[in-house]
Structure 1
Amino acid sequence: MPIDSYAKDDILTIRIHDERLIDPEQLKRLFDDIYTVIGKSEETQVVVDFKAVKFMASAMLGKLVAMKKKCDEFKAKLKLCSVAPEILEVFKITKLNKVFDIQSDEATARKSFSKRGFFG
């Protein structure tokens, strides 16, 4: 499986292991695996860790948007973390950094779920 996952403190963390996400069939398998893990989970907070990912095809962006919509449907909060600077630049160019909550690393992403706003 190109991912592994674990749940701790009501947060599901999914780690992607592939360095290069380019092949359409590979992306399909990856997201099938991610949806399977999310579907079996009780957690409503999800972190997707991109630490191993060095390059990804633009098709991956569409898959991520679809996954975010699916999480929103189920009232699950989604955060991405450990996104390589080159990939983060693509998120900024496409303005998807405004759509996704992207944190520097897994620990920061996990902590950010418990942060409250000024009035919260």
Structure 2
Amino acid sequence: MKYNSDEQKIINEWLTFVGAPYLVDEEFFEYKDGQLLEIAKAKEDSLLTWDEWQHLQTMMDMEIPLKMSIRFVGILWENDIEVLEMNTDKSKEYEDKWNKNLSQAKESMERFKMEMLAELQ
């Protein structure tokens, strides 16, 4: 989903806050449009929470509210179940979309590192 400049600013501030400045202005795969802005506004303090939320919705093939996802992931974790290791029949389809975005994120991280190194010199 494309966000307007004010929304993108909120997202970028959140990405920087969670320690992922290399993802600023990158396009994310969202289970449902608007969820990246939703988690940014909620000021969740972990990028892992985003990954788990998106993965859980993919595995269940349904939209799940953010707070419910956080509670559900916690219950699973307490029972030694890692959400990010779960798979379903639709996993391959979503994995392909995810990997496309992951490769773009890696490229952005490399560009960010190069920019930071250039500034230090």
Say yes or no: TM over 0.5.
no
Greater gyration radius: 2
For normalisation by structure 1, the TM-score amounts to 0.28
Higher relative contact order (CA 8 A, sep 6+): 2
Structure with bigger strand share is 1
For normalisation by structure 2, the TM-score amounts to 0.28
Structure with bigger helix share is 2
